[in-house]
Every structure is written in C-alpha cells, then in structure tokens.
Structure 1
C-alpha cells in the first residue's frame, strides 16, 4: 500500500489501513477472555505497525517513512491509553502495576527532550532549504547564466556546506556563521552594527533549545536503561499488563532512536541495544529495521553525515554535483554545459519541493507526540493517585 495513503496524521484512517490484518489471539490462562483479547489485540497492532514500516515498499529513513513512523506511534500510544482505561482500577492499584506504569511515564518524559531536539533539527533543515532556494534563484531557468549568477550560487553552497558541517559536529551556533556570511542577500549591504546584532540574534534563536551539555545518545540510553521483557511471575502479578508496558516502552525507544538517527540533533549516537525475545510477534520486524538502519549508518558515504534522512543525503549529493559543475564552467557557457546545469537545477528544484512539503507536517507530528506524552503522563499519574511533578 503506498506510503502516501498514511500521511496526514489521521489515526482512524491509519488504524483502518494498517491494522486490519487477521488477529491471532494467544489467551493467557490467568486472564479472563475480554482482558486477554484486549492485550493480544494491542500486541497485534504493534506487530502490524512494524511489519508495515519494514515492508520492501517503504522508503526507509525518508520523510514519508518518518511520518508513517510517527503516525503509528501516535496510534499505538492511543491504543495503550485505551487499554489502561479498560483495565479495572483494582488491577491498576496493585503495587506491581503501579511500579511498571510509573517507570513507563518516567521513560516517556525522557522522550520530551528528544522531541525538542528533533524540532531544532527540522528548523536547521529549513535553513538549509533557504540556502538551496538561493541557488535555485541564482540559476533560474529564465535567466541568462553568467559569472555573477554562479558566484552567488557558489557562495550559498559554501554556506550550506558550513551549516551542515556544524550540525554534524553538534554546533549550537552553526547558523550564526551563516548569518554573518549571508548578509549580502538581505535588503541592504550596508547594515548597521545594531542591525547586525538583530540578524545574528535571529539565527541564534534557531540553534539547539536543549542545554549545551545535553546528549541525544545519553538520553536514548536513559530511555532504554534496564528495559527487559517481563518474567512469568511479573506477567501473572500484573494480570498480563507487564507485557503491554514492555511493548509500549520498546516502541517508545525505537521511535526516539529512529528520529535521532534520521534528523540532525545534538550529540547523536546510535549505539542502542534492543533486548526483545523472538516470542513477541513484533520483535523480528523491529530488529530487522534496527539492523538495516545501523548498516546504513556504516556505509562509507553516510559515515560522516550529520544524519541519515534520505533527503539529507540527496542534499549533500545534489549540492556537491552543482558545486563541482560551477567550478568547472567557462564563459560564455556552451550549449551542452548549460543543458547540464539546467538539468541539475531541475533535480535540485524537485528536492526543494519535497522538503517544503515534508518538513512542516513532520514538525506538526513531532509536536503531537510531545503533547501526547505530556497529556498521557498527567492523566496516568492522576489515575494512579499521584500528584503531578
């Protein structure tokens, strides 16, 4: 099924499309029939989610794949909430369940910083997009291409390379460098010191919102710390709910890990280990995705990238080709050389259009995840009879 059918954040449409496969109920003898069906249905939803993400038709680590990833997370997060609402309060008040849910809410709150860092990364990509638009404007198909147009395009490409290099290094003030270099594209080239300060301040506001010492790698390790499948006695003590909590924790960890892998963020690190028994129906596709993403990170042409998003790789390739082309041209342009330039600019135009259409919806979904986690924790802590922190 085409990935475009799942875009837009519509959970009902997503659930009908992705999670309509045949269910196989594995009834736990310690539970009544209704509770067993609810828990098994939840496991089936998660299995279908990872099967969809890992299918050959999916464009791994693309903007469309990330949107499917977040759509599925929001759906599973919602299903888990419904599962808790359908669980008798007498079960939720058991010490073993109370401890598990408190641990889950603590883990989920750690995802809030990741969401903030990912939104920062998306904003940085918007700045790259603006630099690419300068290249498009300079080499516009309706213009006669001369030395001035190529100089302007090359300057924007240099600024882009600097910005992407700074983001790879986790530089919090990468965009201030671009601000200094890019003032010639403003309305006035004779900027006063006061205006310079405001311009730099604007770019600085787009740097990382998390503290300088914050680390995406350490945050992921904290989310995954001591995350193990429940033992039989824990399953019995929680009337089966321990398996659902382990599952939703694993989904949370994978989604945050995949976002950090794909989008530039501070102190990225992908060394997260998933310990999941193969008895879980969703273990095989999740572990397969983890392996494929790790293999992608080890490719020679991706090893030094600021992130693994497919569109970022395309930005690097496209900008490098145009930069090399701009360095090799001689004036006046031959017809063949101009045709090659026009072709590369058309490819860049299509890439820019994809970024323009994909970044805003992705940011909205990240915001939905952030607020969903906050609401879930507030409601969950209230249901457990604990005061909000």
Structure 2
C-alpha cells in the first residue's frame, strides 16, 4: 500500500451525503421497476385485446362460439397477470391506498354481478346443446325411406327456433309480471336461449380513477384495467348468449376508458365492432354464426326432402352431410366453451377472494398494536 509521509493513506470517509445518494438511487430504481411492472400489465391487456380483432380471413365474426372462446381465454390470461401483480410482485399492499379504494370497491361489486352473467351463459349454452341434439337427430335420420322421420325431426328443430324467438319476445314485452306466464317463460328460457324477462343485469359503466398511471396511482389504474376487461367480457358474453333477442337492443357498452391508456383504443374498437355486427344481424332468430349455419343446413335438408315429386337421394344425402358437419363444428366449439365459462366463474370467485385477503392483511398491518 502506498505510504505518504511515513503513514498509510486512508480511503476518503463515507459521509452522510453519499449514503443519501445511494438510498435515493435505490428508491428511484424500485419506483422504476414498479412502473415497468404496471406498464407490462397494461401492455399485456392491450396485446390480448388486439389478438381478438377479426382479420380479413376470419371465418367467424364476433358473434360466434369461436370468438367467445378466445375472449374468455384472453380474460383468464389478464387475470393471471393481475394476480401476479398482487401476489408475486407484492403490490397487494397498495390496494388500501386512498387512490385505489374506489377502484377496488368497483371491482368487488362487478365480480358479484359477473357471476350472474356466467350462470345465465351456462343456461344459454345448455339450450344450444338442446338445438344440437335435435339437429344431430335430423342429420342421422336422413337415410333412404326415412323422409317422414327427417321431416318430423327438422320440423321439431325449426319449431324450437321459433319458440325460442317467441319466448324472448314475450319475456321482453313486460308480460313476466303474471306469475303463471312468468313460470312458463322460465321453462322456455331453459330450452331456448334465454327469455328477455330473465336477462341478468350487465354491469354498468366504470368509474375512471383520478390522476394518471404515472402519477403514483398505478395500482388504481391496474385495478381499473382488470375491471374493464371483466366488464367487457361479461358484456360480450351477455350480448352473444344471454341477450339473444333479434328484435331487442344491445346493452350499452360498459367501458369508456381514457384514450391515454394503452388498451383503451382497442377495447373501444372491439365494442364498436360488436355493436355494428349486432345491428347487421338484428331481426334474425339467432345471431351466433354456428347456430345460423345449423339453421341454414336444416332448412336446406327440409327443402331437399320436400322437393316436388320424388326427392333425389343424392340431394338429401348432400344436405344431410352439411347438417352433420354443422353439428360437428358446433360441438367442437360448444364443449370447450362450456368448460371455460365454468372456469371463468370459479376464477372470478377466486380473484375476488384474493383481493379481499389482501385488503384484510393491509387492514391488520395498519391497526395499532394491542397494548399488553
């Protein structure tokens, strides 16, 4: 070691200013990591919503079981990221901040209402299963010498479509006030899509947090983003399954986010596209693409069987094959969606419990210690 004047040289003393600079640098680094975590969450929400937009070669529109499967998958993915923020990243302790309390209360209220939409969607899918069974019976009956059986099977299927439309029309006209008639409508609602009188309430518009995500309100805007994804998912699920009333009106869009949020423009665009597609299909007995294909094939098979004179076996067989293929496509999309709706139901319950658990932990941590 170098010596000067016969004495060892000592390193410069560590003064208080250096300690403060190091501490300040660590705080800034933590704040930057926190901002990056929240920015990644908002970007993830935007990416999943962008993937839902239909492309030029999309075979199905936004009113299809295929789209609903992708939508629920996007919701589950966003919920995973939100739970990661609260648990793995340790931001659950910020939920009790004054800037986040309103957003948290809104999310908790919205989860309860969403469970009603999931239940109604499950009933609607069960009624679609009923249509599928009737169509599958008609397709399998289309063999030589069974024209009468085919006609009866298809007539029963088409009558179910008509009864479904009639049940929805009566249910939305306010006639459910009579006890005997409302009971009849509930029965029809289980075998049709869902009668208008039994439509669950779709969550209303969200309250946008004050401030900005970069102004220290990151947790409030993260909760708001999750509430928005949940509200949009339930609105789309209700529009496609529960509110299947071709003569009615689409519930108003529940999300009107600020444009500076990364995912805002994509969500607004999806809502506008769904509203346009609803208006273009208004008046149809069914709006789901898979159900419309089923209805078209059933009518085609009926026309082939009832053709003047003796129907050609080749025409009947061809239309029966088309109906059978429509049944297979419906089943391929229906079974996974039924499982997804159940998973979303349980996930919403679990996420709500996690938020409440974080709030309870924060409350206990902030409580003054009990004196001995």
Q: TM-score with structure 1 length normalisation?
A: 0.72
Aligned to 1:124: 127
What aligned pairs does 1:183-202 form with structure 2 within 5 A after superposition? Answer: none
Alpha-carbon shift at residue 294 of structure 1 (Å) = 1.8
Q: Are 1:32 and 2:7 an aligned pair?
A: no
**Structure 1 residues without counterparts, runs of 5 or longer:** 1-28, 175-202
Counterpart residue number, 1:257: 235
Please give the alpha-carbon distance, in whole angstroms, between the structure 2 residues aligned to 1:76 and 1:207.
33
2:274 to 285, 293, 305: 293
2: distance between equivalents of 1:69 and 1:54?
10
Corresponding position of 2:25 = none
**Number of the residue aligned with 1:214:** 198
Q: Secondary structure at the match of 2:305?
A: helix
1:150 maps onto 2:147 in alignment = yes
The Cα shift of 1:340 comes to: 2.0
| Structure with the greater alpha carbon radius of gyration | 2
* TM superposition shift of 1:277: 2.7
**2:250 maps to which residue?**
270
Q: CA deviation at 1:173?
A: 12
Give the total of aligned pairs.
313
| CA separation of 1:80 and 1:172: change in aligned 2, threshold 3 A | farther
* Distance change in 2, residues 1:54/1:266 (3 Å): closer
CA–CA distance in 1 between the matches of 2:41 and 2:212? 21
Deviations 1:159-197 (A, max 9, x none): 2222223333455999xxxxxxxxxxxxxxxxxxxxxxx
* Paired position in structure 1 for 2:73: 71
Partners of 1:264 and 1:167 in 2: CA distance = 12
Work out which of the residue numbers 103, 106, 109 in structure 1 matches 2:106: 103
Q: Which residue of 2 aligns with 1:330?
A: 309
Instruction: State yes or no: 1:136 paired with 2:117.
Output: no
Q: Is the 8 A contact 1:51 1:285 kept in 2?
A: yes
SS of 1:232's equivalent in the other structure is coil
Relative to 1, partners in 2 of residues 1:39 and 1:64: Cα closer, same or farther, differing over 3 Å?
same
Q: 1:215 to 1:55 in 2, by over 3 A?
A: closer
Q: Which moved more, 1:70-79 or 1:206-215?
A: 206-215
Contact 1:117 1:265 in 2 (8 A): no
Please provide the CA RMSD for this pair: 3.2
- CA drift of 1:361 comes to 0.8
Does residue 42 (structure 1) correspond to residue 41 (structure 2)? The answer is yes
- Say which of 94, 99, 102 aligns to 2:97: 94
Residue 317 in structure 1 maps to residue 296 in structure 2:
yes
Q: Work out whether 1:113 is the aligned partner of 2:108.
A: no
Structure 1 residues 158 and 208: alpha-carbon distance in aligned structure 2, compared to 1, 3 A threshold? closer
CA positional deviation for 1:87: 4.0
Q: State which of 328, 332, 355 in structure 2 corresponds to 1:380.
A: 355
State whether structure 2 residue 58 is matched by structure 1 residue 80.
no
The alpha carbon displacement at 1:71 in A equals 0.8
- The residue aligned with 2:262 is 281
DSSP 3-state at the match of 2:100: helix
Match of 1:229 in 2: 208
The alpha-carbon deviation at position 363 of structure 1 amounts to 0.4
1:121 Cα offset (Å): 0.8
Q: Label 1:212 to 1:287 Cα distance change in 2 as closer, same or farther (>3 A).
A: closer
Question: Which stretches of structure 1, 4 residues or longer, exceed 6 Å deviation after superposition?
Answer: 208-212
Paired position in structure 2 for 1:51: 50
TM superposition shift of 1:329: 3.9
Given the superposition, is the C-alpha separation of residues 318 and 34 from structure 1 closer, same or farther in structure 2, using an over 3 Å criterion?
A: same
Alpha-carbon contact 1:113-1:210 (below 8 Å) kept:
no
Deviations 1:329-385 (A, max 9, x none): 422x3xxx3322222111111111112222111100000000001111122112212
1:31 shift after superposition? 8.2
Shift in CA distance, 96/280, structure 1 to aligned 2, threshold 3 Å: closer
